[in-house]
Structure formats: C-alpha cells, structure tokens
Amino acid sequence: MRPSVAVVVGTGGGIGAALAAALGQAGFDAVHALSRGGGAVPGCIAGTIDVLDEASIAAAAARIEGPVGCVIVATGALHGPGFAPEKSWRAIDPDAFARVFALNTTGPALVAKHFLPLLPRRGRAIFAALSARVGSIGDNRTGGWHAYRASKAALNMLIANFAIELRAKNPDALAVGLHPGTVDTPLSAPFQRGVAEGKLFAPDYSAERLLAVLGGLGPEDSGGCFAWDGARIAP
C-alpha cells in the first residue's frame, strides 16, 4: 500500500497552491501545504515553513508523520526587493547572488535534508523540486540572468546527487527537477511580454501537467529534470 501523505513546500505561491490542491484530488489521504505564512489551501493541512531558516524546516518535518509518498518543493525567486535578473556581468552583485541562491538552491537542499528521511524504505516515492529550463547549461543560448540560471543549475546538480543517495536507500524512489513552463504568477509577471501565444499557463494547468509527468516517471528517470510536457531537459 503506497504512503498516503503528500507535502508541498511553498504553497504561498500560485504553482505551489495549485500543486497542493491537485494532490488532494489525486487520492492522498493527507496533503500538507507548507508556506511561510501558513495560509490555507482547500482540502489540505496548512503549516508554516521558512526555507531560509533550517530550524523552521526541521520543525515542519517533525510535525509530519511518515512515511511520505510525495514531497514537492515549489519555492523560488527570480526577482524581489534588491535583486532582479542581470542582463550583463556588469550587474552581478554578491548580495543579490547570495539571496537568489538561498531561495533557489540552499533552501530546497535543506528541505531535502529534513524531508527525504520521511520517504519510505520500500515502494514508489517522489521528491521533486521546481527548477527551470534556463538552469540547463547545454540549452543556454542567450546568456544573462546569471544568479537565477546558476542557482537552478546548482539545484539540478543537487537533485542528481540526491537521486544517487536515495537509490541506495530505496531503489523505487525518485528525486527529480520539474520545469513548470511560464506560469501566470508574480514571479513571471514582469517577463510575460515575449511569451508565445498559448505558452503562458494558468497555475492549475501547470500543476496538472507536472503531476501527469511525475506519474509517468520511473526509477530510471531519477536525477533528471523534466518539463511540463514530459520532455527531459539537458543538464
């Protein structure tokens, strides 16, 4: 019998909330929706977490009784107070770099540290984190966005590392990155002008597609990064 508990970290954002709501419709008995503000998501158990504070992450994990069949980290930042995507190397700022890496790389890594132990030792289980196509080194054609690209590339490497370690503990478990596409949320709002028609997704649609992708992955896919349409993204 598969574990009946799912966890989504980052449900204060549009994609995270949509993923939690969709998991509630997917047959899980309990879905924990965790965010810094602890806001409610229909059909889910609300809880607080701050990915910039390891003590908060550890406390959130301790409140959940395992085993957990699915953990999705839906946090991340592209812009915010004091930082924005760099158009040139001249715009690189160490404080902005540290902030972006803390939110996009270190935070999800600490979630993995405390939540991967909640996965079962046998049977299918998933740890997934929202990444981005721009984190692909092989697919980089335009450059720029240095901190965001680098933080997502680093996240993809961590996911590959976690997959190797996880395989030794449970061969049926997966650790994967997910690219949700361009979703109509505050993260993408300043950058939607050039999005092709039909490629700006509603959060509910993106969440539906991502869960469908997860449903089609097997242990051999662990460590990879996959787009909303199921395509594997190059490292």
Q: Find out whether 114 and 58 touch, Cβ atoms under 8 Å.
A: yes
Q: How confident is the model at residue 192 (pLDDT cuts 50, 70, 90)?
A: low
Q: Is the pLDDT of residue 2 over 70?
A: no
User: What count of other Cβ atoms lies within 10 Å of the Cβ of residue 79?
Assistant: 17
For 91-127, the pLDDT digits (tens) are 999 999 999 999 999 999 999 999 999 999 999 999 9
Chain centroid offset of residue 31 CA = 16
Write down the pLDDT at residue 187.
65
Query: Model-level pTM greater than 0.85?
Result: yes
Q: Is the pLDDT of residue 167 over 80?
A: yes
- Distance (Å, rounded) from C-alpha 24 to C-alpha 180? 19
Which residues, in sequence order, are CB contacts of 220 under 8 Å at separation 6+? none
CATH of domain 5-227: 3.40.50.720
For 44-92, the pLDDT digits (tens) are 999 999 999 999 999 999 999 878 999 999 999 988 888 899 999 999 9
**Tokens 């990155």 appear where?**
177
Return the DSSP state at 232.
Answer: B
Average of per-residue pLDDT across 193-201: 65
The structural domains of the chain, with segments of one domain joined by +, span 5-227
Tell me what percent of the residues of the chain surpass a pLDDT of 90: 77
Q: Regarding predicted confidence, which is higher, 231 or 190?
A: 231
Write down the pLDDT at residue 117.
96
